[in-house]
A and B are shown apart, each in its own frame.
Chain A
Amino acid sequence: DVKVTQSSRYLVKRTGEKVFLECVQDMDHENMFWYRQDPGLGLRLIYFSYDVKMKEKGDIPEGYSVSREKKERFSLILESASTNQTSMYLCASSGGRGGYNEQFFGPGTRLTVL
């Protein structure tokens, strides 16, 4: 059973704080993704990584960065949190290279920035 875990279920931060969201998968998947999920907007890709230390920008990377030092862990960093980054953040992973491989999602982190 694929397991994708996220470090926090709920997080409350203040404007300007540096925020780390952690994601860990236990299935040796090559690919990992960070999305934000907003009502009326669906899921939007922030960043994805297809290998350790490799990363690519998604559709909305502004204000975010990522780190992937180990294959199983993919971190999303908000350098200076702002209120418009209040959202649900979903991490996903998928195995294999090339084409479609099912993405498995974590439970999500609901971030509130005050």
Chain B
Amino acid sequence: AQRVTQPEKLLSVFKGAPVELKCNYSYSGSPELFWYVQYSRQRLQLLLRHISRESIKGFTADLNKGETSFHLKKPFAQEEDSAMYYCALLTDSWGKLQFGAGTQVVVTP
């Protein structure tokens, strides 16, 4: 079965501290994974996708097929990183996504 698990509902970190959001997936094929972000009062938007291997707003995410994980990391959290983050898995050729439950990140000064 296809599944995306985000074990942390809430992550509270201090400004300047590292932050890591966990994402584990279950998928029988070759996975394609994404992180979406929703800032307060804004629309949900794509943050990054694993195949692009980019660093967006200081965030990186590495696909680990052995551990079936796609954790999102940032070495130094900023207050503007406070948001809801969703991990998502591409589930078919039409572009449908399976989303995780989401992790709320709160960065305090």
The closest CB in chain B to the CB of A41 belongs to: B101
- A100 and B95 contacting across the interface, CB-CB below 8 Å: yes
A80 interface residue per 8 A CB criterion: no
Assuming the contacts A100-B49, A103-B46, A107-B43, asked whether A50 and B94 have C-beta atoms less than 8 A apart, the reply is yes
Collect the chain A residues with CB atoms within 8 Å of residue B95's CB: 31, 94, 96, 98-101, 103
List of 6 A-B pairs having minimum Cβ-Cβ separation, nearest first? A43-B99, A42-B101, A105-B44, A42-B99, A105-B43, A42-B102
Collect the chain B residues with CB atoms within 8 Å of residue A101's CB: 95
B51 to chain A, nearest CB (A): 9
Contact residue range for chain A?
20 to 34
Q: Across the A-B interface, how many residue pairs have beta carbons closer than 8 Å?
A: 55
Query: How far, in angstroms, from A104 to B90 measured CA to CA in the complex?
Result: 15
Collect the chain A residues with CB atoms within 8 Å of residue B94's CB: 31, 48, 50, 56, 97-98
Assuming the contacts A40-B9, A45-B96, asked whether A100 and B32 have C-beta atoms less than 8 A apart, the reply is yes
Please name 19 further chain A to chain B contacts, defined as beta carbons within 8 Å, in addition to the given A42-B4, A42-B100, A99-B93, sorted by A numbering. A4-B43, A31-B94, A40-B101, A43-B44, A43-B97, A43-B99, A44-B99, A45-B96, A48-B94, A58-B96, A90-B44, A94-B95, A99-B90, A100-B90, A101-B95, A102-B46, A103-B46, A103-B95, A106-B43
- Within the complex, which residue of B4, B32, B93, B97 is in contact with A103, where a contact is CB–CB below 8 Å? B97
B86 interface residue per 8 A CB criterion: yes
Contact surface of B with A, Cβ cutoff 8 Å: 4, 6, 9, 32, 34, 43-46, 49, 86, 90, 93-97, 99-102
Collect the chain A residues with CB atoms within 8 Å of residue B86's CB: 42-43
Collect the chain B residues with CB atoms within 8 Å of residue A106's CB: 43
Q: Give chain A interface residues in 3-54, CB to chain B under 8 Å.
A: 4, 31, 33, 35, 40-45, 48, 50
Q: Give chain A interface residues in 47-106, CB to chain B under 8 Å.
A: 48, 50, 56, 58, 90, 92, 94, 96-106
